[in-house]
Amino acid sequence: MAKQSLWLRCEKKQFERRTAITPTTAKKLIDAGFEIFVERDSQRIFKDEEYEAVGCKLVEHNSWPNAPKDIPIIGLKELPESDEPLPHTHIQFAHCYKQQGGWSKVLARFHRGGGTLYDLEFLTDEQGRRVAAFGYHAGFAGAAAGALAFAAEQRGEPLGQLEPYENEDAMVESVKKELGGSGKPLKVLVIGALGRCGRGAVDLFRKIGVEEDNILKWDMAETAKGGPFQEILDADIFVNCIYLSSPIPPFLTKEQIAAAGKDRRLRVVVDVSCDTTNPHNPLPVYSINTTFSKPTVPVEVGAGNPPLSVVSIDHLPTLLPREASEQFSANLLPSLLELPNRQTARVWVEAENLFRQKLAEAVKAEGL
């Protein structure tokens, strides 16, 4: 039987330092008979030499378009916008299955090229849970960014550029320092608190010293009555960690913010879920994703009212690139080991069936 090859591409999104396959995971794949090609990438948290040392074959930066068509290409974030046909099999987060902005154009590239998409968000186990997710570190880093934005607001300035941390401990200490030593005075609300993302946010708040009674942990039971929710306005920081799968009433509205006037306590919203371009976005108080270089966007609050800013960075776990990558890659490994049998292995068969369904919808939407 021929070796299963896999091509790890570089990431073109600015500041993205994570990877889908770490050197640790690459070695396990190679030991299992895989051949791993790795694009050189100075932005990646792991050095090229770390891959070479475990037996990977280094190839030129961003050279995947010229890779043999039978080698699957694996990456994390979506490819740069283009109309170029995609003939390869791609394994990545594509953000195009929930009718996000430009979804049909992304899928049309696969239609024109004859390629296949296995979206990492939709590789699931027998219970329907994702086999690998960055949720915990997204919530942890999102809560940290929210606390840093709150500290900056208290100084009367916007939050400056965010830089990745070496590890969780370094992040916690940095946040505590910016808050003057502790997050004890804060009151925070996390919606989606029972999921991986929500647990990460709650853990960060605990580690910076927020008192347990001041960490409001909401999930489906608390939101069942339907928004908008006054309780959000009564916290200093609100973190949205829900997985949006169907239309729901908004959690927060511009009208609600305006009506609260000067009595509003809320200063920072962290939208970890980042459903910015989703037509059912539960936070219709902003409309753009923010970036590491400009982490917050101000909300229109009306003259004379206290400021309110939103953090809506869609790759927050890259603030902890090494830990987040190691966890994700380790969780993805069992599914990758089944890749040679992807015509029959349930996790890959179901992902391809979903791709075919969404591709048909895109072809219709694009009139192809």
Could you give the residue numbers annotated as active site?
77, 95
Interatomic CA distance for residues 358 and 98, integer angstroms:
9
**Helix/strand/coil (H, E, C) string of 53-98?**
HCCCEEECCCCHHHCCCCCCEECCCCCCCCCCCCCCEEEECCCCCC
Known binding residue 368? Answer is: no
Known binding residue 313? Answer is: yes
Interatomic CA distance for residues 359 and 118, integer angstroms:
12
**Closest-CA residue to 285 (of 315, 310, 314):** 310
H/E element, 188: strand 188-191
Interatomic CA distance for residues 204 and 170, integer angstroms:
12
Interatomic CA distance for residues 170 and 152, integer angstroms:
19
Known binding residue 356? Answer is: no
Known binding residue 129? Answer is: yes
Known binding residue 315? Answer is: yes
Known binding residue 286? Answer is: no
The maximal CA–CA distance of the chain, rounded, in angstroms, is 71
Residue 363 token pair? 């072809």
Helix ranges, 70-130 (H): 103-113
Known binding residue 227? Answer is: no
Known binding residue 316? Answer is: yes
Residue 99 token pair? 């009718």
Known binding residue 242? Answer is: no
Known binding residue 48? Answer is: no
Cα angle value 350/351/352 (rounded, 5°):
90
Annotated binding-site ranges for NAD(+): 129, 195-196, 219, 223, 243, 272, 313-316
Annotated binding-site ranges: 129, 195-196, 219, 223, 243, 272, 313-316
